[in-house]
Structure 1
Amino acid sequence: MKWILYDIGGVLEIVDDHGWPQSLHERWSTRQGLTVDELRARLQAAELPDMALRTGVAEEYWRKLGAALDADEPATATMRSEFWDAYCGRANTELLAHARSLQGRAGLAILSNSGDGAREEEERRFAFSSLFDPICYSHEQGVAKPDATAYLTALDRMGASAEHVLFIDDNEEPVRGAEACGIRTVLHRDNVTTIAAIETFLAS
Structure 2
Amino acid sequence: MAAQKWVLFDVGGVLEAVDDDAWQDEWWRRWSGRAGIEDVGLDSLIVTAELPPIDLVSGRAEEFWQRLGDAMGLSGDDRAAMRADFWDAYCGEGNDGLIEYARGLAGRAGRAILSNSADGAREEEERRFGFSAVFDPICYSHEQGVNKPDPRAYLLALERMGAEPGEVFFVDDREESIAGAASVGVRGILHRGNAETIAAVEAFLRAE
Please give the TM-score of this superposition, normalised by the length of structure 1: 0.97
Q: Does 1:82 align with 2:85?
A: yes
Q: Which runs of 5+ in 1 are unaligned?
A: none
Matched to 2:61, the amino acid is A
Letter in 2 for 1:148: P
Name the counterpart of 2:132.
Answer: 129
For 1:72, the aligned partner's letter is S
Tell me by how many angstroms 1:30 deviates: 2.0
Report the CA distance shift for 1:137/1:40 in structure 2 as closer, same or farther (over 3 A): closer
Q: What is the CA–CA distance in structure 1 between the aligned matches of 2:41 and 2:119, rounded to whole Å?
A: 25
Amino acid corresponding to residue 159 of structure 1 in structure 2: G
Deviation at 1:92, TM superposition (A): 0.3
1:77-103 Cα deviation digits (max 9, x unpaired):
100000000000000011011111110
Q: CA deviation at 1:21?
A: 1.3
C-alpha separation in 2, matches of 1:133 and 1:199: 20
In the alignment, residue 106 of structure 2 is paired with which amino acid?
A: Q
- What letter matches 2:162 in structure 1? G
User: Are the aligned partners of 1:43 and 1:68 in contact in 2 as well (CA < 8 Å)?
Assistant: no
SS of the residue aligned with 1:78?
A: helix
- 1:147 pairs, out of 150, 156, 161, with 150
Counterpart selection for 2:107 from 92, 104, 109: 104
Asked whether the 8 Å contact 1:114–1:139 carries over to 2, the reply is: yes
What code does the residue aligned with 1:26 have?
Answer: R
Match of 2:25 in 1: 22
Q: Within 1, Cα distance between the matches of 2:27 and 2:20?
A: 12
User: Could you tell me how far apart the structure 2 residues matched to 1:38 and 1:158 are?
Assistant: 38
Percent of aligned positions with the same letter in both sequences? 56
Q: Report whether the alignment pairs 1:33 with 2:36.
A: yes
Other-structure match for 2:10: 7
Q: Residue 182 in 1 paired to residue 208 in 2?
A: no
Conserved 8 A contact 1:147-1:177: yes
Question: How far did 1:35 drift?
Answer: 1.6
Q: Does 1:49 align with 2:52?
A: yes
Look up the SS of the partner of 1:82 in the other structure.
helix
Secondary structure of 2:40's match? helix
Within 1, Cα distance between the matches of 2:44 and 2:206?
Answer: 52
- Name the amino acid aligned to 2:58: T
Hey, what's the Cα distance between the residues in 1 that align with 2:200 and 2:150?
24
Q: Deviations over 1:84-123 (max 9, x none)?
A: 0000000001101111111000000000000000000000
TM-score, normalisation: structure 2: 0.95
**Counterpart Cα distance in 1 of 2:42 and 2:117:** 23
Q: Any idea what SS the aligned residue of 2:112 has?
A: strand
Query: Is 1:200 the counterpart of 2:198 in the alignment?
Result: no
The answer on 1:162 being equivalent to 2:162 is: no
Is the Cα contact below 8 Å between 1:46 and 1:65 reproduced in 2?
yes
In 2, the alpha carbon distance for the partners of 1:42 and 1:105 equals 47
Give the equivalent residue in structure 1 for 2:64: 61
Q: Which runs of 4+ in 1 moved over 6 A?
A: none
CA RMSD for the aligned pairs? 1.1
Cα 1:175/1:81, change in 2 over 3 Å: same
Q: CA deviation at 1:38?
A: 6.4
Find the aligned partners of 1:141 and 1:41 in 2 and give their Cα distance. 25
- The residue that corresponds to 1:138 in the other structure is 141
Paired with 1:38 and 1:129, the residues of 2 have a C-alpha distance of: 35
